[in-house]
Amino acid sequence: MKKRGTFIGVLLSLQFALSLVAQQAAPDRSKAEEYISLAREQIRTNDYDSAIENGEKAIELVSDSSRYYFVLGNAYGLKAQLGGKLAAFSAARKCRAAWEKAIELDPDNIEARFSLFSFCLAAPGIVGGGKDKAEREAQEIFARDSTAGYMAWGQYYTHNDDLEKAEAAYRALLQLKPGSGYHRVNFGLMYQHFNRYDQAGEQFVRAADIDTNAVDAYYHLANNSLLAEQEYEQGLSWVGLFIAKLPAADSVNRAWGCYLKGKLLKKMDRKEEAAGSFQQALRLNPACEPAEKELKKLW
């Protein structure tokens, strides 16, 4: 009977300890959710440093959330696009590590896998990129989600200059998602990569027509005019629509819109107006280096 009493006592102690852990964990998870929600909002408003800080705080409290690591990776990835070369190098490594951890915690996290795929496709090997890694990730994505998989293969074959296979992947994707402006835009970008500007423009127009959320279609239509070296006035109208449809708080994308507007005006030999647009881009986003370079070359 003594042994039985000891055993029951151990069980009761264990249950009490687990109860204390659960009581402590609940507030931690609640606070972590606050941090990660704040980080997501800060990403939306382009405050990437604050998003990183809050993402790290969330993970300090809850280290087993694939979703948290995905959000943190997004913050680092976007910061890498804005900073100087040294800062970009560091942020790129950290965003890759965060996405890899997100996948380790949840192998079916398609968003994290696609982000890692895109990173590997675009980034140099020195920060962990590479075509072979991108191909493996595309296979993993397709095995789990055919829609995301076709999009990954479309980007992969575009990157490798295989028009026939890229086009086939995007057509298969649009059979699955015919009403998606997002996928139409990506199909157009594929044609743009191969200098097929008329076909690209058709897809961008279609994207804007079928999906009111496809605001970036207007940006790409304007850029299409620039790349095709034709219809600059129409391009100005497109970029004007792009800027007008963006939220006022989206200073980064508004800056890119002003930069593109400046490029179009420069092509039209309207240098003073172009300078004004480049200056506006820098006011909106001082890290917009292309606008600064264009401004210096203008006169």
Model confidence pLDDT, tens digit, residues 160-199? 999 999 999 999 999 999 999 999 999 999 999 999 999 9
For residue 156, what are its two tokens? 């992969």
9 has a pLDDT exceeding 70: no
What is the percent of the chain with per-residue pLDDT over 90, rounded to a whole number? 75
Instruction: Label residue 265 by pLDDT band (50, 70, 90).
Output: very high
Q: What is the pLDDT of residues 15-56, one digit of tens each?
A: 666 565 555 556 788 999 999 999 999 998 888 999 999 999
Note the pLDDT of residue 17.
60
pTM here is: 0.80
Q: What is the pLDDT of residues 104-145, one digit of tens each?
A: 999 999 999 999 999 999 888 888 889 999 999 999 999 999
